[in-house]
């Protein structure tokens, strides 16, 4: 067993029977690394609250390491990157979710920790209306905010159209898979997937030899939601995976938008319900979206330097000063953008923003944007 390789240890931890994804992340967060989870497994009950001796015993699992070594060999052969929670390239927005994967497998050229990330999801039975919405939105978005990363699930319908229209408009796009990187499902999307490797990439939490079973798609949806600042739903029936993604995005406190459709249209029912139930904001255009998210470059206000404010609030912490400096230099920002820029965890960021708001230094705008006063 290689207890010094974080990639091997992270993969092995996912293969230990009885350790689910939430507990795996708690263990890594508590110990700092997956390597330390295994190396200090006998000390876990004393070091971490809620960890029983049974958990420590479960971690004595040589077969998990054998499977991890097998996966690493495949990765090295196929130039696949292993992203652990300790890796700076691991998606920062996703890292702050309680059920985030402790390891991801990635092949491609896109970067995840860019200022603007959205996901586009919808029905697998896209109509001409949905396809046109997808094409028009991404074409206009490219003109308004050309550095956006577009995420979807490489599935039939809206997903694959989102990827293809992103490629047409030279926007980086990442497909999140419900299986390992030893296959492409559905296979008819292979050519698009190959093109995405040059202008985006493919991402998964699943090891090779994993079948694209139904429950894997539900697990995949949480990654789609967690990677992005906002979820956009384009066409959905009353039930479907895109509505699950929207619900998960809401649980992560991410923005959610939906394009409306005619009442009575089967594949607009879900979107109309999201809007009616206040689970998604009404979306009519890329301009609407960019303005609501505060992604427009013209929205940056002129602000005084945070150091001047220290004269009135000498007790500002280094973290608070860092946040104010970002808002001063870059203008209005969403919480996810601030987390990426400062590398402050989401729970800590929420507390800091509340304190700064109470001190009268910032205020919250529509779309969850924060502005320096």
C-alpha to C-alpha distance for 324 and 178, rounded to whole angstroms: 40
- Asked whether residue 264 carries a pLDDT value surpassing 50, the answer given is yes
pLDDT digits 0-9 by tens, 86-98: 899 999 999 989 8
C-alpha to C-alpha distance for 200 and 174, rounded to whole angstroms: 5
pLDDT digits 0-9 by tens, 220-233: 999 999 999 999 99
- The pTM for the full model equals 0.80
pLDDT digits 0-9 by tens, 167-201: 999 999 999 999 999 999 999 999 999 999 999 99
Q: Where are the domains of the chain?
A: 6-78, 117-293, 300-372
pLDDT digits 0-9 by tens, 27-50: 999 999 999 999 999 999 999 988
Token pair, residue 321, equals 């000063």
* CATH class for the region spanning 6-78: mainly alpha
Look up the CATH architecture of domain 117-293.
3-Layer(aba) Sandwich (3.40)
* Better pLDDT: 4 or 290: 290
Nearest Cα residue to 285 out of 145, 140, 116, 151:
140
pLDDT band at 1 (very low <50, low <70, confident <90, very high): low
* CATH class for the region spanning 300-372: mainly alpha
C-alpha to C-alpha distance for 332 and 330, rounded to whole angstroms: 7
Q: Which residues, at least 6 apart from 370, have a Cβ–Cβ distance to it below 8 Å?
A: 327, 332, 333, 334, 335, 338, 353, 362, 363, 364
C-alpha to C-alpha distance for 106 and 174, rounded to whole angstroms: 10
- Asked whether residue 328 carries a pLDDT value surpassing 90, the answer given is no
Taking a C-beta distance cutoff of 8 angstroms, is the pair 196, 173 a contact? yes
Taking a C-beta distance cutoff of 8 angstroms, is the pair 225, 119 a contact? yes
Note the pLDDT of residue 371.
Answer: 87
Average confidence (pLDDT) over 248-257: 94
- HEC assignment per residue over 182-214: CCCCCHHHHHHHHHHHHCEEEEECCCCCCCCCH
Phi then psi dihedrals of residue 173, to 5 deg: -140, 135
Q: Which residues, at least 6 apart from 306, have a Cβ–Cβ distance to it below 8 Å?
A: 316, 321, 324, 325, 328, 372
* Better pLDDT: 213 or 312: 213
Burial string for 98-114 (b: 16+ CB within 10 Å, else e) reads ebbbbbbbbbbebebbe
pLDDT band at 129 (very low <50, low <70, confident <90, very high): very high
C-alpha to C-alpha distance for 53 and 62, rounded to whole angstroms: 18
């Amino acid at each position: 067993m290689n207890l010094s390789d974080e990639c091997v240890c992270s993969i092995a931890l996912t293969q230990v029977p009885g350790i689910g994804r939430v507990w795996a992340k708690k263990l890594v967060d508590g110990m700092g690394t997956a390597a330390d989870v295994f190396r200090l497994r006998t000390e876990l009950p004393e070091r971490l609250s809620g960890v029983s001796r049974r958990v420590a015993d479960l971690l004595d699992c040589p077969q998990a390491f054998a499977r991890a070594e097998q996966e690493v060999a495949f990765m090295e052969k196929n130039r696949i990157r292993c992203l652990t929670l300790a890796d700076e390239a691991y998606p920062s927005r996703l890292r702050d979710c309680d059920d985030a994967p402790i390891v991801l497998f990635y092949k491609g050229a896109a970067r995840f920790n860019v200022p603007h990330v959205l996901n586009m999801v919808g029905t697998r039975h896209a109509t001409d209306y949905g396809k046109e919405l997808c094409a028009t939105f991404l074409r206009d978005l490219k003109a308004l905010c050309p550095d956006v990363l577009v995420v979807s699930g490489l599935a039939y319908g809206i997903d694959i159209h989102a990827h293809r229209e992103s490629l047409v408009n030279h926007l980086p796009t990442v497909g999140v898979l419900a299986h390992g990187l030893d296959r492409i499902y559905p296979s008819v999307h292979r050519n698009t997937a190959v093109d995405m490797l040059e202008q985006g990439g493919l991402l998964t939490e699943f090891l090779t030899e994993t079948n694209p079973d139904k429950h894997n798609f539900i697990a995949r949806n949480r990654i789609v939601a967690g990677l992005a600042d906002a979820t956009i739903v384009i066409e959905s029936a009353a039930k479907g995976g895109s509505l699950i993604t929207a619900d998960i995005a809401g649980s992560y406190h991410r923005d959610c938008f939906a394009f409306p459709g005619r009442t009575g249209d089967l594949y607009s029912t879900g979107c109309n319900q999201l809007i009616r139930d206040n689970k998604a904001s009404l979306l009519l255009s890329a301009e609407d979206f960019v303005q609501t998210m505060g992604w427009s470059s013209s929205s940056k206000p002129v602000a005084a330097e945070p150091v001047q404010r220290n004269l009135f609030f000498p007790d500002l912490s280094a973290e608070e000063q860092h946040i104010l400096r970002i808002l001063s230099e870059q203008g209005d920002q969403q919480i996810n953008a601030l987390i990426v820029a400062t590398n402050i965890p989401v729970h800590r960021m929420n507390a800091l923003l509340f304190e700064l708001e109470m001190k009268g230094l910032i205020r919250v705008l529509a779309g969850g944007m924060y502005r320096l006063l």
